[in-house]
């Protein structure tokens, strides 16, 4: 039995990944990444940076991307639950502007593999959540890009109270106003 189940989504290159979890009376063990298994599944990435954030219910981070230094991301939740989203921004893609979303949680242990050429964001739907992700390119603050979270029909889950976004995220253009598109990635 493989250590991972790689489930393709309707957007080429985006996968929901389910690790095999081994549990007993002590708890559980799982691998969250294996270069060999991922390469055998056609996901050939060299991750160079790991990031982690903590947020509370209603915090929406995104939708983000880097323009000249695009990043592929392998994302997962360490505690709590988030609704994670990838939006296709590849110029010649037949699914340009379309999105996929997945509930990721510490309980379901699912991960989302997002290739280069996508905007990414997530909404915390539990009381709090710790979110972790691997990137195949370093973060370049001068290279940040983004688009407004509500501009491409994403069906965000309802949460109690107001959404909490950073000032920067509130100033991103809508998809229809976005002047940037990924060429070949």
Angle at 143 between CA 140 and CA 146, to 5 degrees: 115
Catalytic residues: 64, 133
Residue 81: is the preceding peptide bond cis (ω within 30°)? Answer: no
Indicate the SS3 state at residue 116.
Answer: coil
Cβ atoms < 10 Å from Cβ of 112: 25
pLDDT tens digits, 11-46: 999 999 999 999 999 999 999 999 999 999 999 999
Close Cβ partners of 146 (under 8 Å, ≥ 6 residues apart): 62, 63, 64, 65, 119, 168, 169, 172
What residues are paired with 49 via a beta bridge? 135
Topology classification of domain 46-177:
Jelly Rolls (2.60.120)
pLDDT tens digits, 90-133: 999 999 999 999 999 999 999 999 999 999 999 999 999 999 99
Q: In the chain, where are the structural domains located?
A: 46-177
């Amino acid at each position: 039995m493989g250590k991972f189940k790689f489930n393709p989504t309707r957007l080429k290159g985006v996968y929901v990944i389910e690790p095999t979890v081994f549990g007993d009376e002590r708890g559980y063990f799982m691998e969250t990444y294996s270069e060999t298994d991922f390469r055998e599944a056609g996901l050939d990435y060299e991750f160079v940076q790991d990031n982690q954030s903590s947020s509370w219910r209603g915090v929406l981070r995104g939708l983000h991307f880097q323009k000249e230094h695009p990043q592929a991301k392998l994302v997962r939740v360490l505690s709590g639950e988030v609704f994670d989203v990838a939006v296709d921004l590849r110029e010649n893609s037949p699914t340009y502007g379309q999105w996929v979303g997945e509930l990721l949680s510490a309980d379901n242990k699912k991960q989302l593999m997002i290739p280069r050429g996508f905007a990414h964001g997530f909404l915390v739907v539990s009381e709090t959540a710790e979110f972790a992700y691997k990137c195949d390119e370093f973060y370049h603050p001068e290279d940040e890009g983004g688009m407004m979270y509500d501009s491409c029909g994403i069906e965000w889950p309802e949460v109690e109270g107001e959404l909490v976004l950073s000032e920067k995220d509130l100033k991103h253009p809508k998809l229809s106003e976005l002047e940037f598109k990924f060429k070949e990635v």
